[in-house]
Amino acid sequence: MVPTRIDAHRMALAEASGFRPQPDRRIDWFESNAYEIGQGQQLYDQFNCSTCHANGGGDIGPALMDSAWTYGGRIDQIAASIRDGRPNGMPAFRDTLTEQQIWQIAGYVRSMSGNVARDAASSRGDTMANTEPLTRIRQEPVTVAGRVDRSATR
């Protein structure tokens, strides 16, 4: 099986962070472990993601709690967006965050659209946020350019 670009990328990822993942073990881990998502929530606040994305509703940056994803809504795609940055404004956090921190934030971003294990997301943070409790929101299907991405919905 010729490794596709994504698989090659994932292998590099595994090497870089010292994980020895089967292809998708990390995807399940960061979408169902409450501690990781909780750390992601705190990192989201501390690294000022809310400056552009608010608390998920979007501001200068796109909304993170809806179903529209320009560069893919799967957790590894979100992690790639954080690590490498995206055109018109999303900075690369490759040298600012460690691999685990990137995946933790990606997990929290997934929880904003209800795409994590039901009992993993915590209801709210100890911050001012005019958003619905994460335990009460509906799960948003991930759509890329209008088409629903089957592989991204739990």
Partner 1 sequence: MTAAADLPRDGAELRGEALHARLSRTWDTPGDLYARLATVDHKIVGQRYIVTAFAFLLLGGVLALIMRTQLATPDSGLISADRYNQIFSMHGTTMMFLFAVPMGEAMAIYLIPLMLGTRNISFPRLNAFSYWVYLAGGIMIWVAFLLNVGPETGWFSYVPLAGPEYSAGKRTDFWAQMITFTEVSALATSVSLIASILKQRAPGMAIGRMPLFAWAMLVTSLMVVFAMPAVMLASSFLIADRLVGTQFYNPTEGGDALLWQHLFWFFGHPEVYIIFIPGLGFVSQITETFCRRPVFAYPVMVLAMVSIGLLAFGLWVHHMFATGLPRVGYSFYTAASMMIALPSGLQIFCWIATMWLGRPRFDAPLLWVLAFIVTFVMGGLTGVMVASVPLDLQLHDTYFIVAHFHYVLIGGMVFPLLGAITYWFPKITGRLMHEPLGKATVALGFVGFHTAFFPMHVTGILGMPRRVYTYPAGMGWDTLNLVSSIGAFLFAAAILLFVLNILWSLRRGRPAGPDPWAAPTLEWATSSPPAPYNFPHIPVVTGHAPLWDEPGDLPVMTGLRVDDRELLLTTVMDADPEGREASALPSIWPLIAAIATTILFIGSIFTPWAVVWGAIPAAAALIAWFWPKSGDVPPEPVIE
Partner 2 sequence: MRRRAALTALPLGGCAGIQSAADGAGRHAAIVGDLFTLFLWITGFFFLLVLLFLGWAILRRRSDGTAERGMAVTLAGWAGLITLGLFALTIASFFTDRWLAAASAGREPPLRLKVTAQQWWWQIEYLDPLPANRLRTANVIHLPAGRPVEISLAAEDVIHSFWVPNLAGKQDLIPGRTTDIQLLPTRVGRFRGQCAEFCGLQHAHMALDIIVEPAKDFAAWRTKALAPAPAPQTPQQKADYAYFMTHQCASCHAISGTPAQGTIGPDLTGVAGRLSLAAGTLPNNRAMLQGWIANPQTIKPGSRMPTIKMSGAELEAVTAYLETLS
Partner 3 sequence: MMRGWRFTGDAAPLPTHAFGTASLTWWGVVGFMLIEGTGFALAIASYFFLMAQEKQWPSGALPPDLLWGTIATVVMLLSELPNIWLKRMAEAERIGPVRAGLVIVALFGVALLVIRGFEFAHLNIGWDRNAYASILWALLLLHTVHLLTDFVDTVVLAALMFTPHGLEGRRFVDTSENALYWHFVVLSWLVIYAIIYWVPRLG
Quick one: what does residue 34 bind among partner 2, partner 1, partner 3, none, with the CB cut-off 5 to 8 Å set by partner type?
partner 1
- With CB under 8 A as the contact rule, the residue among 86, 94, 124, 154 that binds partner 3 is 124
- Of partner 3, partner 2, partner 1, none, which one does residue 38 interact with (CB within 5 to 8 Å by kind)? partner 1
Burial of 91 (0-12, 13-18, 19+ CB in 10 A): exposed
- Of residues 105 through 134, those in contact with partner 2 by CB under 8 A are 126
Indicate which of partner 3, partner 2, partner 1, none lies near residue 70 (CB less than 5 to 8 Å, by partner kind).
Answer: none
Write the CA distances from 78 to 11, 75, 126, integer angstroms. 16, 5, 24
Asked if 51 is part of the footprint of partner 2 (rule: CB under 8 A), the reply reads: no
Distances (CA, A) of 16 to 8, 20, 85: 12, 10, 18
Q: Where is 77: in which H helix or E strand?
A: helix 75-84
CB of 90 to partner 2, least distance (A): 16
Tokens of 138: 């509906």
Residue 116's beta-bridge partner residues? none
37 binds partner 2 (CB under 8 A): no
With CB under 5 to 8 Å by kind, the binding choice for 135 among partner 1, partner 2, partner 3, none is: partner 1
With 0-12 / 13-18 / 19 or more C-beta atoms within 10 angstroms meaning exposed / middle / buried, residue 76 is buried
Q: Which residues bind partner 3 (CB under 8 A)?
A: 123-124, 130, 132-133, 136
